[in-house]
Chains A and B, each alone.
Chain A
Amino acid sequence: MRRRTLILGLGFAVLVYLILFFYVFGLSPMVTGSSQAKWVEMELSLEPKFSDTEICKECHYQLYIGMKNHSKVSCEACHGSGVEHTIKRTSDTIVKDRTRDFCLNCHLDVGGRDAVKTVNETHHPGIYCVVCHDPHK
């Protein structure tokens, strides 16, 4: 075949590959950099749904100061997300679960729970734990 055809063909192929590499390594880092920066801004603008024990203490200091065993547990671990409650300050915007099952979620005597005091099913079955044990003391 003629040399001209060979050069034309291979030249076309090399040209297409060069355009690809120029696009990948030259043009695109600008697009990725800007979209990532925009997303970081978006992440930082999200509103938290949990506040912190410091915020709860501002109104409920009496409840907090009396705690002995549960003092290391954050308020929202048991009472749920608190941001709505700090705005509305009503009783239905915070979780108050007094049932036996709620306490047994952490304190039931299954295997592997050396970090808490555990209790068996046979310990006063059916009765709410809060009848005898106040978690805020």
Chain B
Amino acid sequence: MKKIEFIFGSALLLLILVGALGILQMHTHPVMPIEPFESAEGIPWRLLVALYVFFVVSTTGFCIIISLGEVFGFTKLEPILKECMLMALVTILVGLMTIALDLEQVMRGYFAIAGHVNTTSIMFWMIMLYVLYVIFLIVEIWFYFYDDLIKQREERGLRGLVARVLTIPKASETKDFAKVIGFVTVFTAIIANSNLGALFGVNYIPLWHDPLLPVHFVLSAIVSGAALSVIGVYITDFARGVKIEGERYEAIQMLRVILGFSIVVMIFFTAWKFVTKAYPNSTLLSREAALPFINGEFAFNFWVMEVAVGLLLPLILLAAPQIGRRAEGVFAASLLTVTGIFFLRIDHVMGGLALKLITGMSFPSPVYHPFEIMATIGFFALTILLYYVVYKLMPMEVGE
């Protein structure tokens, strides 16, 4: 291993350790007895749930991009499909780990798969659909990489071992089978993601009780999938020391178009979501639900991070020809978009619960507990490390 890889890997491991420490502290000392964190004690869903939503919607986004390239014939996206597949797998695994560690009783997390089933519970169906999604995604990746894995059997070392374990020497039509399973995977992913949107559709939380919420989730999946694909491809090529040109450049440009278009639709969705809620005679508490975002404690999160940084600035960067035509420009716009999407998740989860005036307790402003921030850093580092490991083990060159 090269020296820089060693340093980078150790830095990531250190961050993962910080995250693990955060998780441990969260479960043993739930609240630091200093303000403002003490007021957030009774709030059920905080930063980790927002992080989970972020990961899970990202994986749906990756799946949609993959299916656009593989199943629906956007052939320009083909050179980057392998990276997107690995990123989809890594993000769903880390996402499921995030929510499993947020449970109060982590050791009982498997109960829903072990027979304790409530069919009217949307959260139960979410668990089941994501388990199915992981199964289908793994099968799709296995068959997509099959031909290249056969070629890797002859190599020595860990890569050859992985390839020999995963394949038998004679097989055919695996790419077509992968295409069929790809269709099934994206079908499951979209159902699961819109199910997650419906999970938030709890009756009496006005910010969430919106029949368009499942659609909004799938739309933000497209945005975050396109943006994260650009980021992933750019960083991968940067780490390999390769300049982006040729086919991969064309793929980035295609992603630029998809990202720009979906950001425009997202702007309309966001604008109308808040206008209909802030309207004077809108339903019970709707107005009070929307006001924290317009000029209340969540105003900075909403106007600056979510709208300006997340939607408007990337759109300008993508539309401007001098910036949008360069891969670096699309990368910068995608970074801004992903930041905006992350704050969208925080606003959605914590902003929705901000109005929960139960027993006289509410937390009007977004509170980020230090242990949660540590855990978030750890999970991001884990994603990068897992992606790096899987990238090194799998055959990544575009097959003949």
Direct contact between A and B in the complex (CB less than 8 angstroms)?
yes
Q: Which residues of A contact B (CB under 8 A)?
A: 1-2, 5-6, 8-10, 12-13, 16-17, 20, 23-25, 27-32, 35
Q: A-B contact count, CB below 8 Å?
A: 53
- In the complex, what distance in Å separates the CA atom of A35 from the CA atom of B173? 48
User: Would you call B117 and A24 a contact (CB within 8 A)?
Assistant: yes
**6 additional contacts (CB under 8 A) given A28-B116, A29-B117, A32-B118:** A6-B180, A8-B177, A10-B184, A24-B117, A30-B115, A32-B117
- Flag whether B237 is at the interface (Cβ < 8 A): no
Q: In the bound complex, do residue A10 and residue B173 qualify as a contact, i.e. CB atoms below 8 Å apart? A: no
Q: Is the CB of B116 within 8 A of A35?
A: yes
- Rounded to whole Å, the gap between the CB of B194 and the closest CB of chain A is 17
Asked whether A13 lies within 8 Å of B184 as measured between CB atoms, the reply is yes
Q: Give CA–CA (A9, B175) in the complex, Å.
A: 12
Chain A, interface SS category: helix
**Chain A residue contacts of B132, Cβ below 8 A:** 16-17, 20
Residues of A within 8 A of B183 (CB): 9
Whole-angstrom CA separation of A29 from B118 in the bound complex:
9
Report if B114 contacts A (CB, 8 A).
yes
Chain B residues closer than 8 Å to A16, beta-carbon distance = 132, 135-136
* 5 cross-chain pairs, A with B, having the tightest CB-CB distances, nearest first: A9-B180, A31-B115, A28-B117, A13-B184, A1-B176
Q: Do A25 and B184 form a contact, CB below 8 Å, given A9-B177, A17-B132?
A: no
Query: Closest CB of chain B to A81's CB: distance in Å?
Result: 24
Docked Cα-Cα span, A14 to B181, in Å, equals: 11
| Cβ-defined contact, B176 with A13, below 8 A | no
CA distance A24 to B180 in the complex (A): 26
Tell me how far the C-beta of B132 lies from the nearest C-beta in chain A, rounded to whole angstroms.
6
Within the complex, the shortest CB–CB distance from A44 to chain B, in Å, comes to: 21
How far does the Cβ of B109 sit from chain A's closest Cβ, in whole Å? 16
> Please, which residue of chain A has its CB at the minimum distance from the CB of B143?
A9
B105 lies within 8 A of chain A by Cβ: no
Bound form: Cα–Cα A16–B240 in Å: 39
Could you tell me which residues of chain B, from 107 to 149, have a CB within 8 Å of some CB in chain A?
Answer: 114-119, 128, 132, 135-136, 139
